[in-house]
Amino acid sequence: MYKVLFKTFDILFWLRYNGYMSKLDKAKEYIGAIKVYMGFVLASLMGVVASTSKLYLSGEVNVIFWIGLVGIILLSIGFLGLMKHLHKKINDLEDL
C-alpha cells in the first residue's frame, strides 16, 4: 500500500515539476521559495543582533563583537537584496 502511495507521489511530483507547470505556477513557487530564504536570513539576523547587543551591553567589545557587527551588515544587505528581488518578481507577474 505504501509503495503504491509513494509511487503515485513520485509520478505527481514529476508531472508537476517537469514541464507541465504553467509559467504563473512556476513564478509563484519561486516567490514562495524566496520568502522562505528571507525568513532564514531574518531569523539569522535577529540572532546575530541579539548576541552582538548582549556582548556590547556586557562590555565585552572584542573580536567576536566586531565579527557580529560585520555579520549584521552582511545579513542586512542580503535581506535587502532578497527583498528587492522579490518585489521585482512580483511586478513581473503582470506580464504573465
pLDDT in tens, 5-45: 445 555 555 555 555 667 777 788 888 888 888 899 999 99
- Please tell me whether the overall predicted TM-score, pTM, comes out greater than 0.75 for this model: no
Residue 4, in any domain of the structure: no
Contact 80, 71 (CB under 8 A): no
Number of domains making up the chain: 1
Distance CA 64, CA 67 (A): 5
In a domain, 86, yes or no: yes
3, part of any domain? no
Quick check: is 39 in a domain?
Answer: yes
Residue 72 placed within a domain: yes
Host domain of residue 64: 22-95
Q: How far, rounded to the nearest angstrom, does the alpha carbon of residue 65 sit from its chain's CA centroid?
A: 25
CA 29/CA 74 separation, integer angstroms: 26
pLDDT at position 29, please?
83
